[in-house]
Structure 1
Amino acid sequence: MTDSPLRLVPVTPDNFDAVCAVRVHPRQEHLVSPVMKSLAEAYVHGETAWPRAVVDGDEVVGFVMAFMDYRWNPAKDPEDIRSGLWRLNIAADRQGRGYGRFAVEAVTEEIRRRGAERVYVTWKPAQDSPEPFYLGLGFRRTGELSDDEPVAVLDLGPA
């Protein structure tokens, strides 16, 4: 455990129910999948998914999932391997306290530790979109789309 009570921890049988109970604000439900769907995707994409509970002390306050070493478009460029933020759910009653920023920064550090020089994220372009949040953290749009979602990148520099 670190000096900070904030940390990312694996989803385990002991915290599974608390992680699944994380619900975003109702005005955000159209922007992010529920945690249960994310955990199912993590199971199906086990080779690239990195799901974690966001914990403050002993309390689960959110969920974050990264993708690691994903082949972006192997038909176009087999060398384009990316890592980034796949999902971020902070409990509605815990938002505005820095948990989202912490989760993104912790994922970024894990990706940097693994040797990547960039972190990617997408979002749904809709009302209450997290775009200002991600741009405020230093992400910049790449001009690409993933399905109908803009792609943004944060340059980390050499690991």
Structure 2
Amino acid sequence: MSTTALRLEQITEANLDAALGIQVRPDQAHLVAPVVKSLAEAYVHPEIAWPRLIVDGGRPVGFLMGFFDADFAAGGSSVDGDHRAAGLPRPDLRSGLWRLNISASEQGRGYGSFAVRSVSDEIRRRGGDRLTVTWHPGEDGPEEFYLKLGFRRTGEFSGDQVVGECALSA
């Protein structure tokens, strides 16, 4: 991984096929939705979704989708403009990493950690102080990866997935 050439790109017509070509290892396919589903969800929830292609040099190596100010208390995905306009935090609004797909041939090279740092940076830029993520529990899931990055289990579940959270320092 070349940190100087590593960047996120907004999904556009020019890189859509590259984003759709990102596939995790076959044994991980049950753990994360394919990029095409993420992009469909981003289309349906444009107010909270932040899909990005992870590129190293000119080579696409992964896909992430962040989310910002999702209303978990209502069980939906809405943005509360009144609180934001007043500068007041809402504890039930969360931001975090919605999806992370690293190409099968590119795993283990630090791209996942880069993705988590990138979403953390964007949350801080937007005034947030915590990063939320969910993962499938079990031996084949990514729990160890997230715990090593400083996440802790909250005790909550989102469907059948564990909810993890990481406090972000300023």
Q: Which runs of 5+ in 1 are unaligned?
A: none
**What's the offset of the Cα at 1:148?**
1.5
One-letter code aligned to 1:34: P
Aligned to 2:42: 42
Q: Which runs of 5+ in 2 are unaligned?
A: 81-89
Aligned to 2:127: 115
**What's the offset of the Cα at 1:127?**
3.6
- When normalised by structure 2's length, the TM-score is 0.87
Q: What secondary structure does 1:88 align onto? A: strand
| Cα offsets for 1:23-56 (capped at 9, x unmatched) | 0011100000000000000000111000000000
Structure-2 separation of matches of 1:22 and 1:126: 24
**What's the offset of the Cα at 1:128?**
1.4
User: What is the identity percentage for the equivalent residue pairs of Structure 1 and Structure 2?
Assistant: 58
Structure-2 separation of matches of 1:15 and 1:52: 10
- Residue 94 (structure 2) aligned to one of 77, 82, 86: 82
Aligned to 1:56: 56
* Count of aligned positions: 154
Consecutive aligned runs of 4 or more in structure 1 exceeding 3 Å deviation: none
Residue pairs, 1:68-147, within 5 angstroms? 68-74=68-74, 79=90, 80-147=92-159
Q: What secondary structure does 1:116 align onto? A: coil
One-letter code aligned to 1:63: F
Structure-2 separation of matches of 1:86 and 1:4: 25
One-letter code aligned to 1:21: G
| Cα offsets for 1:95-132 (capped at 9, x unmatched) | 01101111111111111111001000001113410000
- When normalised by structure 1's length, the TM-score is 0.93
- Cα root mean square deviation, aligned: 1.4
Q: What secondary structure does 2:166 align onto? A: strand
Structure with greater proportional strand content: 1
Structure-2 separation of matches of 1:8 and 1:69: 21
Structure-1 separation of matches of 2:26 and 2:44: 27
**What's the offset of the Cα at 1:83?**
0.1
**Are 1:31 and 1:126, in contact at CA under 8 Å, matched by a contact in 2?**
no
